[in-house]
Chain A
């Protein structure tokens, strides 16, 4: 069994506690306008090219984005980082893309990692059949769960999918998961209006059973824009600027009213 992964990040310090290894799994059912990992959307390996400059000459090299890894490959990479993950209270995170879109591989990898004593985290959009979440629950120490918009219409408009399944899964995890961290991308003009924020705050408060450990407010950034050019994809965020620091601070105060720890950034 193999999983399709488009990037492995070591010394990953923004995808859960401590120093982690993060595997970015390829394939996502959502197509968020602001997505900064557009190479993670398609569930097939993609060809792209990279230009290396050497001595005034350019070399265009074909590169495959997305490689297949076995569970043993995953373990081998993580074992090399164990010293750092153990000492820092870190572990291993599966992100993406949408990791739960490769449920069998994800389950097998999580089981194997737990057996070896690694702390595990899954960073998910929540868009996957409930059964998949139930299966990985026992082997996942932490879910990083994205909440993007509470209005179903608006959610469809911004991400291409309904939020109904997402919110059901969120309630399931808020009830049964060991720990959950909510990640809210803050996208100016899309989900940052006062009315929506108020609803989101109240929603989180109503669902929380005590296992929601943190809310991360992730300010929109433009780092992904160059990737759109590289992958010949349409950049839909022209003219949108990152939210101001002041605005983020206000939002932080706002969400702190849930009683949950709030952090700006990952």
Chain B
């Protein structure tokens, strides 16, 4: 099937639209917060009323030719800001407007609104101000040193995915549930009955608001229909108006209704606040399949119409870049992508093979649309057929980094280990980059990246940070004080534990800030059992509540420790003093030492136990420091191993390292070996990467770059399938393939204009090559070359 003219046009418009910053939301939010009414309300009701005010007053945007309607801003890629979360300064607006990468056009009108209305009101009142003033001085020191990042600094807690229930439920049904929950409130014995009442009231307001918002679209569509001269489009517009009158008020019954239903929900979530990983339809093939079958049998849906609807739906995601970030947060996630990850395949709730006709249709849509957003992944269960994997490889081979491959059995085991029931586990999947979650039932918050290599750097200097010139960690001795490798590891463990404590303490305060000031009654409607509990998503209302800290740089830290063990303590090739001198000079004049560190030292990624033992040791130290420690929402902290682009930021704050890496260069990403450190091919990488226990994480990321030659025929597909299944039989969580050659990338660097649509896999997600910083571009080129050699 090829794309219709309609979809081609919308796709092209979306690709060509320039990201702009819109002041609409900021202004409306300011007006609401300034009103007398806002001051008199409880927090959840105030947020629900704010949500209602936004949806009542924001501009309705309907684009020519589209079938699925609704934009977060007044136009495609017009991106709102969230001053109640973080307030952009006039200087930030200048930077956003002029920076080379991931820029947003900011026009004079927006600047004027910011100067006159937004900044004067919100200064000192944003959650970012509140957050920073509540952190301890130890936290600030560690944050400034680049030990960890803070996810909630400029965005709201996110990481949740729509589950089965909401694809079969309308908001009128939810209103009934709310009514029942209110009736159930026990004011005699439940001291929180009043809080629950306020939360439920807020939820009810949010239901009304989203229904009203859909009806505003219906009115607008009817107006357009009345003016439309083309008969065919007129009919379409009237049909669309009918759909908007039905969903999301009532449960969807057709493919068209289901897609529009989801899209209103999506818009609701990303208008209410700016949660990390926007929002996600999750197991889309499973949700669509029953209505698709019903419609196909009834003859109400032909292939052309289906493709038009899906194409229009895909464009919607691409119209919505992630909100404009600044500072460290822009570095840790330097991208327009807002991390929607559509899941295909896997198993059904009863444990049987879930691959269906819709899985294949959506794979075709992914191939033909070839857009950055939404991202896509294939869940691969041992029960899924090889032909399904081959079809995915067919798309992977074209080199835009989608779909990525996930291990269904690992996802289920991870969720079961965390105490989810079997049905919730099977209905789960991954979102964002690689993060495991129970869809529709879990609030799994990512809280920040954790710079393991930097902590080893501090350990060598008695907890002192050379870059900021401050004592950041505890005094655990200088490098040369440690008489054995084990002693050094003990010091490293103390440092990791110390910073994990700081981070977790910070998290537990930040969670309370959101619970107290920024409840999300709309999002709470979507995640079970918030209504039943009368509790907000941000206060532990969900069935499962998890907090993650993401470990970064496993390949680098492993090679650093291995190098120390090998060169200092065992082979005694250099003394500590020699190595420290070399590191402090960034190897200038010590190239012979750097040479040996790079070329004559065992490295992670080659199925060499000598090196891989350190990966396991670091994993266990990190796991013990974080896993199982309570959060404030009735859940616990857990770990996962993924970097997004933070390995570049973390590298930029880390000096030269004992693995021979020069100061400021990127660290390794995910659980992949350091760039160029693996030289025995993909089977050895897989063996090394599976020595850590993936099942005790909430996701790991393994990136493998392949030249297109690995995808030339059926035999090579079978071999790649065997490779993936082998990794998954070792409990590997995720593997992704980047198919591209270095010359292409170099040319793209020289002539970005010719490669507007070149998408590469970065680390757990894909991005336009042109939007990556030069250092990240170079890193990807280097890795590619290494693979080709």
Contact = CB atoms under 8 A, between A and B. Distances in A.
Interface of A: 9-11, 13, 17-19, 52, 54-57, 59, 61, 80-81, 83-84, 87-90, 263, 265
Contact of B662 (A9, A55, A89, A263): A55
A55 B729 contact: no
A10 B725 contact: no
Contacts of A263: 713
A52 B719 contact: no
B154 to A, nearest CB: 37
A88 B722 contact: yes
A138 B662 CA distance: 54
A55 B588 contact: yes
Nearest to A87: B722
B730 interface: yes
Interface stretch (B331-339, B490-498, B594-602): B594-602
Interface in B646-703: 660, 662, 680-684, 687
Contact of A54 (B595, B607, B713, B722): B595
A61 B598 CA distance: 13
A248 to B, nearest CB: 13
A18 B722 contact: yes
Contacts of A83: 726, 729-730
Contacts of B592: 59
Interface residues of B, number: 30
Contacts, number: 69
B683 A84 contact: yes
B722 A84 contact: yes
B607 A80 contact: yes
Contact of B595 (A10, A17, A59, A81): A59
A266 B684 CA distance: 22
Contacts of B723: 11, 19, 84, 88
A67 B719 CA distance: 29
A68 to B, nearest CB: 20
Contacts of B114: none
A7 B729 CA distance: 28
B387 interface: no
- With most chain A CB atoms within 10 A of its CB, the pick from B591, B684, B713 is B591
A265 B712 contact: yes
A17 B719 CA distance: 9
A200 to B, nearest CB: 24
B683 A81 contact: yes
B715 interface: yes
Residue among B592, B607, B713, B719 with max Cβ neighbours from chain A (10 Å): B719
B716 interface: yes
B384 interface: no
A89 B714 CA distance: 14
Interface string B704-734: 0000001011011011001101100110000
Given A54-B595, A80-B607, A80-B684, 12 more contacts: A10-B681, A11-B682, A18-B719, A52-B595, A52-B598, A54-B587, A54-B598, A81-B683, A83-B726, A84-B683, A87-B726, A88-B726
Given A9-B681, A54-B595, A88 B718 contact: yes
B380 to A, nearest CB: 14
26 contacts: A9-B681, A10-B681, A10-B684, A11-B681, A11-B719, A11-B723, A13-B710, A13-B719, A17-B715, A18-B719, A18-B722, A19-B683, A19-B723, A54-B591, A54-B595, A54-B660, A55-B591, A55-B662, A83-B726, A83-B730, A84-B722, A87-B722, A87-B725, A87-B729, A88-B726, A265-B712
A19 B599 CA distance: 28
B591 A57 contact: yes
A11 B591 contact: no
Contacts of B607: 80
Interface in B135-193: none
Interface of A is mostly: mixed
Contact of B587 (A55, A81, A90): A55
Contacts of B599: 52, 59, 61
B440 to A, nearest CB: 34
Given A11-B683, A81-B683, A88 B719 contact: yes
Nearest to B599: A52
Contact of B594 (A9, A11, A54): A54
In the A-B complex, list the 7 residue pairs whose CB atoms are closest, starting with the nearest.
A88-B722, A11-B681, A57-B591, A87-B722, A54-B595, A55-B591, A10-B681
Contacts of A9: 681
B549 to A, nearest CB: 32
A10 B606 CA distance: 11
Contacts of B710: 13
B88 to A, nearest CB: 41
A61 B591 CA distance: 14
B587, B716, B722 — which one has the most chain A CB atoms within 10 A of its CB?
B722
Interface in B215-258: none
Nearest to B607: A80
A19 B595 contact: no
B741 to A, nearest CB: 15
Looking at A84, A263, A265, the one whose CB has the most chain B CB atoms below 10 A away is A84
A101 to B, nearest CB: 26
A135 B662 CA distance: 55
A196 B701 CA distance: 53
Contacts of B662: 55
A15 to B, nearest CB: 12
Contacts of B730: 83
B687 A80 contact: yes
A19 B718 CA distance: 9
Contacts of A52: 595, 598-599
A19 B730 CA distance: 17
B722 A55 contact: no
A18 B598 CA distance: 33
A202 B719 CA distance: 33
Contacts of B594: 54-55
A52 B729 CA distance: 37
A19 B591 CA distance: 39
Given A11-B683, A55-B591, A19 B719 contact: yes
A13 B711 CA distance: 11
A126 to B, nearest CB: 25
Contacts of A265: 712
Contacts of B722: 18-19, 84, 87-90
Contacts of B713: 263
A18 B721 CA distance: 11
Nearest to A52: B599
B652 to A, nearest CB: 19
Contacts of B725: 87
Nearest to A20: B719
A13 B722 CA distance: 12
A56 B586 CA distance: 13
B244 to A, nearest CB: 50
Interface in B576-635: 587-588, 591-592, 594-595, 598-599, 607
Contacts of B681: 9-11
A61 B595 CA distance: 10
A173 to B, nearest CB: 23
Contacts of B680: 10
Nearest to B593: A54
A122 B681 CA distance: 22
A90 B684 CA distance: 16
A10 B607 CA distance: 11
Contacts of B682: 11
Residue among B607, B660, B680, B683 facing the most chain A CB atoms (10 A cut-off): B683
A29 to B, nearest CB: 30
A180 B662 CA distance: 51
Contact of B726 (A57, A80, A84, A89): A84
Contacts of B683: 10-11, 19, 81, 84
B397 to A, nearest CB: 15
Contacts of A90: 719, 722
A149 B722 CA distance: 37
B422 to A, nearest CB: 27
A108 B113 CA distance: 82
